[in-house]
Amino acid sequence: MASTTQIEVCSIGKKYGKFKALGDINLGIAEGEFLSLLGPSGSGKTTLLTLIGGYDAPSSGRLLFDGQDMTNWPAKQRGFGMVFQGYALFPHLTVAENIAFPLKVQKRSKAQIADRVAQMVEMVGLSGHEAKKPTALSGGQQQRVALARALAYEPKVLLLDEPFSALDKNLRGQMQEELRRLHRDLGTTFVFVTHDQEEALALSTHIAIFNHGELQQIGTPEEVYERPANRFTAEFLGDINLLSLDGSTGCLAETAIELPKTIAGQSHLAIRPEHMRLAADDDAIQLPVRLRDRVYLGSKSRLLLETSGGEELMLYLDNDPTDMRPGSELRVAWDARDSFAV
């Protein structure tokens, strides 16, 4: 996979009237990357995707493509593929005609179009459905047509806005697998909008996390999950245990547990539940807790715990601890390297 920067977002801002939908966004997208724009509803994801695609103009800043300023290029000149939220297929056209549409606009020859449509239909697993109208297809099939149509003319960049949000969980998982495969096989740059953390972690080579129109962090899934830049990212990406820090003593609040390095200005120590365990005798950190509840989950149990200061913690145990009752006094441990201040 090449790693040259293909798209550069330089100080991009977007206002709707007085409302600032996007702050001052700077990020680079490498050729062949699968970048997810992840954030809660209203955080500016669609706005940024729309600006990259050229469907709207930014209020400030510049967009570069292969080093060239494309800020004022119309969408057509950029030629990026786009899969919109919802399916947005032409209802009066068949599957084959929907996929052929962008190729006809490009005035490709009939033979070329027929070849390419056949290839795309096979790629998205819709062989035998070519003559059907969209209404005769399931949601997943319709989304495959939308994907095939967007990829038919081999765009250098594919933009996808929450393409699977209308699908049920099983189908969504299946479509995610197919999208991963497509990305791997094609090597096209994918920019993918989602509010689903698991989806972003599972699909992406890189994730850009947004909140209130501001970029919070960008990195690989491992980087943003294991080393969140701030509390928003830490809490947005999966479960997190937070323990108050006592700034004056450099200890965990209400304990004598010293931290290897407290970070100035940070109020909490964060530990992912999967990095927390019941303490063994030789663990350096031993935090006393009381068991509030135990939830049996089949392959594991989830323990809900409370510190003496009333802070709630969560951890998972692989084996069902049958001798533990709510109210039990326990100790938890973690490795200092798995904790971070936020």
Ligand X SMILES: Nc1ncnc2c1ncn2[C@@H]1O[C@H](COP(=O)(O)OP(=O)(O)O)[C@@H](O)[C@H]1O
Provide long-range contacts, Cβ within 8 A and 24+ apart, for 242-248: 242/268, 242/269, 242/270, 242/311, 242/342, 243/268, 243/269, 243/270, 243/271, 243/287, 243/307, 243/311, 243/313, 244/268, 244/309, 244/311, 245/269, 245/341
Nearer to ligand X, 134 or 163 (CB): 163
Residue 43 interacts with ligand X (CB under 6 A)? yes
Nearer to Mg ion, 36 or 46 (CB): 46
How many Å apart are CA 171 and CA 129, to the nearest integer?
A: 18
Residue 46 interacts with ligand X (CB under 6 A)? yes
Nearer to ligand X, 42 or 125 (CB): 42
Report phi then psi at 105, rounded to 5. -55, -35
The helix/strand/coil state of 66 is coil
Is 241 in contact with 276 (CB distance < 8 Å)? yes
- Return the biggest CA–CA distance within the chain: 77
Q: Rounded to the nearest 10 degrees, what angle do helices 139-151 and 169-186 cross at?
A: 20
Nearer to ligand X, 206 or 294 (CB): 206
Nearer to Mg ion, 46 or 98 (CB): 46
Residue 90 interacts with ligand X (CB under 6 A)? no
Nearer to ligand X, 46 or 143 (CB): 46
Nearer to ligand X, 47 or 143 (CB): 47
The one-character DSSP state at 257 is: -
- Closest CB to Mg ion belongs to which residue? 46
Which single residue is written with the structure tokens 């100790």? 331
Minimum separation from the CB atom of position 55 to Mg ion (A)? 13
Residue 47 interacts with ligand X (CB under 6 A)? yes
How many residues bind ligand X (CB under 6 A)? The answer is: 11
Residue 238 interacts with ligand X (CB under 6 A)? no
Residue 296: which of ligand X, Mg ion, none does it interact with, CB under 5 to 8 A by kind?
none
Look at residues 247, 230, 85, 92 and name the one whose alpha carbon lies nearest to residue 159. 85
Minimum separation from the CB atom of position 200 to ligand X (A)? 13
Report phi then psi at 210, rounded to 5. -115, 145
Minimum separation from the CB atom of position 36 to ligand X (A)? 12
**Residue type present at position 198:** E
Residue 21 interacts with ligand X (CB under 6 A)? yes
Residue 42 interacts with ligand X (CB under 6 A)? yes
Residue 44 interacts with ligand X (CB under 6 A)? yes
Minimum separation from the CB atom of position 310 to Mg ion (A)? 38
Minimum separation from the CB atom of position 161 to ligand X (A)? 7
Minimum separation from the CB atom of position 211 to ligand X (A)? 9
DSSP 296-338: E-SS-EEEEEEETT--EEEEEESS--TT--TT-EEEEE--GGG
The one-character DSSP state at 183 is: H
For residue 241, give both structure tokens. Answer: 């245990």
Minimum separation from the CB atom of position 42 to ligand X (A)? 4
Stretch that binds ligand X, among 13-21, 132-140, 145-153, 318-326 (CB under 6 A): 13-21
Q: Which of residues 31-60 bind Mg ion (CB under 5 A)?
A: 46
Nearer to ligand X, 39 or 155 (CB): 39
**Residue type present at position 132:** K
Is 203 in contact with 168 (CB distance < 8 Å)? no
Interacting residue ranges for Mg ion, rule: CB under 5 A:
46
Interacting residue ranges for ligand X, rule: CB under 6 A:
16, 19, 21, 39, 41-47
